[in-house]
Amino acid sequence: MLPEAQCDSLQVVLVSPRNPLNIGAVARAMANFGLRRLAVVAAFDPTWREARSAVGAPNLLLNAVESATLAEAVASCTLVAGTGTLTRRKPEQRVVPLPELAPLVSRELAQGGRVALVFGPEKHGLTREDLSYCHILVEIPTDPLQPSMNLGQAAAVCLYELTRPAVPTPESPPATTVPSATSAAPSGRLELLAGVIEEAMSAAGYSPRAMQPANRHDLRLLLRRLTLTAQDTRRILGLFRRILWRLKRAPAGDNASG
């Protein structure tokens, strides 16, 4: 299992789950592998905390964090990994095969980061908008004739892959969490930066108003691809706030209207 110090830095996030039994199955799988941080975003059924399928993990359900949006659920995370297959989607971020996920997660946790493993609704998985909050897309290998997996099964497979390499061996001592001076910026700070950049773009008349949703989507992906550190984010945030301040002080005729 993961070292005790890292267990609270890895959370499972379920986006818009419909069936409480599936939520309970995920909680049970988490308990199997020693994890305890679950976040549920906009669940369809408000009684999901009472799911009987959470065998051996009722407290995990009771302590799960309920969020209105995915952005809120992953705000403190420095690595957000969306899950799914490539059968019906064209990825816009780096694709990581499931067996290659564990080293990335281990490195992030060892540097003092926080990781979210995100699963989408049972029927269609994560949407394009959901994935814009993710640094990477983890591909769960399945047969093309049956690409869809039960939510509980998908979580169990992913968690097994994550925790299996974490078992200490004689050649590799147990991992310890060491905060890095160049730690990655948490998702919430990237969203704050994206908002300020978008406001500056709007003030500068960068593009028509109809293009703003597409710009927001692309900007969110770009900031995650850049793998900015917390210090990078502070500097860029200060830069764009200064630009925005100057744009707002400029005479009205100097800026093109969006």
pTM: 0.84
Tell me if 20 is assigned to some domain. yes
Per-residue pLDDT reduced to its tens digit, 177-221: 444 546 899 999 999 999 999 999 999 988 888 898 999 999 999
207 vs 174, higher pLDDT: 207
Is 203 found in the same domain as 78?
A: no
Per-residue pLDDT reduced to its tens digit, 209-257: 889 899 999 999 999 999 899 999 999 999 999 999 999 887 765 554 4
Is 228 found in the same domain as 153?
A: no
Tell me if 146 is assigned to some domain. yes
- 142 falls in which pLDDT band (50, 70, 90)? confident
- Output the pLDDT for position 255: 54
The DSSP result for 131-166, as a single string, is HTT-SEEEE----TTS----HHHHHHHHHHHHHGGG
Is 159 found in the same domain as 68?
A: yes
| Residue range(s) defining the domain that contains residue 234 | 187-251
Per-residue pLDDT reduced to its tens digit, 34-89: 999 999 999 999 889 999 898 989 999 999 999 999 999 999 999 999 998 877 77
Tell me if 235 is assigned to some domain. yes
Average model confidence (pLDDT) across the chain: 87
Is 121 found in the same domain as 192?
A: no
Structure tokens at 257: 């209207």
Is 158 found in the same domain as 196?
A: no
Q: Return the percentage of the chain with pLDDT > 70, whole number.
A: 90
Contact 42, 15 (CB under 8 A): yes
Is 124 found in the same domain as 191?
A: no
What is the pLDDT averaged over residues 162-174?
54
Tell me if 258 is assigned to some domain. no
Structure tokens at 36: 């305890």
What is the number of structural domains in the chain?
2
Tell me if 256 is assigned to some domain. no
- Output the pLDDT for position 254: 57
CATH number of the domain bearing residue 124: 3.40.1280.10
Per-residue pLDDT reduced to its tens digit, 106-120: 999 999 999 999 999
- Output the pLDDT for position 148: 78
- Output the pLDDT for position 87: 74
> Which residues is 169 bridged to in the sheet?
172
CA distance 241 to 236: 8
